[in-house]
Amino acid sequence: MWRVLLVEDQAIVRKGLKVILEQDENIQVSHEAGNGREALDILEKHCVDFVIMDVRMPVMNGIETTRKIKQRWPGIKILILTTFNDDEYALQTLKDGANGFLLKTAESERLIEAVYSCMKGGLTIHDEVAAKVMPRLLQRSNSEFSIDVSLSPRELAITKLIGEGQTNKEIATQLFLSIGTVKNHLTHILQKTGLRDRTHLAIYAVKPDIADFLNVMIL
């Protein structure tokens, strides 16, 4: 069962989210916080698997909190859940390592799906936000995402599949590898490319020039 920390300054919203999330037998809302500082205090004392994070909160906002959590506990998955369809919020939190960005207008089923996707290594971005954010990410200079030809054929194949949105489990099945082996390859890929995390690698892999390169190299 996945232990979830809800970070939301409105108690009534937290209560509603808890009811929605715990309809799924694999999800337990183990802790709640009203701001980022409270969230960090909880994480110092308790282990959680997943954080659902609001953006605008008193004391410490969701952007700063996401950055601090990922620096201290990089294995914790974070889904940003906010009212504000702001591409700057999305860009910053994804840059800092958030695993997804969802608007509160989403259906309850979409929220559950987002938790599953993030926990399995996927990247969830609300359609309305993605329409604004992805073009900006893909237009970043090539110097930020340079091709490293020292990637092995296996690493190139994994990079391509990550760009297609596949999880570690799906990649392992397709390439006849163990999940642990895929994770090891992913660590080496990030080291070679100098990219921060899986999110950046996925963006890297779908840039037109990189995608063409990958398609040629793994034929």
For the range 207-213, what are the long-range contacts, defined as Cβ-Cβ under 8 Å and sequence gap of 24 or more?
Answer: 207/138, 207/142, 207/145, 208/138, 209/142, 209/147, 210/145, 210/147, 210/163, 211/160, 211/163, 213/147
- DSSP code, position 35: S
Q: How many domains does the chain have?
A: 2
Low-confidence ranges of the chain (pLDDT < 70): 85-87, 127-149, 204, 206-219
Residues 7 and 89 in one domain: yes
| pLDDT tens per residue, range 168-180 | 888 999 898 999 9
Question: Does residue 147 belong to any structural domain of this protein?
Answer: no
Last residue of a domain, one of 137, 171, 203: 137
Helix runs in the chain, H state only: 11-21, 36-45, 62-72, 87-95, 108-119, 127-138, 153-163, 168-175, 179-193, 198-206, 208-217
Last residue of a domain, one of 83, 108, 137: 137
Residues 64 and 160 in one domain: no
Partnered with residue 100 across adjacent β-strands are 79, 124
pLDDT of residue 125: 79
Residues 127 and 30 in one domain: yes
* CATH label of the domain that carries residue 55: 3.40.50.2300
pLDDT of residue 197: 77
Residues 127 and 203 in one domain: no
pLDDT of residue 143: 43
Q: Is pTM beyond 0.85 here? A: no
Residues 12 and 92 in one domain: yes
- Neighbouring CB atoms inside 10 A of 127's CB total 9
Question: Does residue 143 belong to any structural domain of this protein?
Answer: no
Q: Is the dihedral of CA 87, 92, 98, 99 positive or negative?
A: positive
Residues 24 and 70 in one domain: yes
Residues 22 and 117 in one domain: yes
Question: Does residue 125 belong to any structural domain of this protein?
Answer: yes
Q: Which domain holds residue 44?
A: 2-137
Name the strands in the sheet holding 100-103, side by side, starting at the edge strand that comes first in the sequence: 27-33, 2-7, 50-53, 77-82, 100-103, 124-125
pLDDT of residue 165: 80
Question: Does residue 174 belong to any structural domain of this protein?
Answer: yes
* CATH label of the domain that carries residue 190: 1.10.10.10
Residues 70 and 164 in one domain: no
Residues 88 and 166 in one domain: no
| pLDDT tens per residue, range 69-101 | 999 998 999 999 988 766 677 778 887 888 888
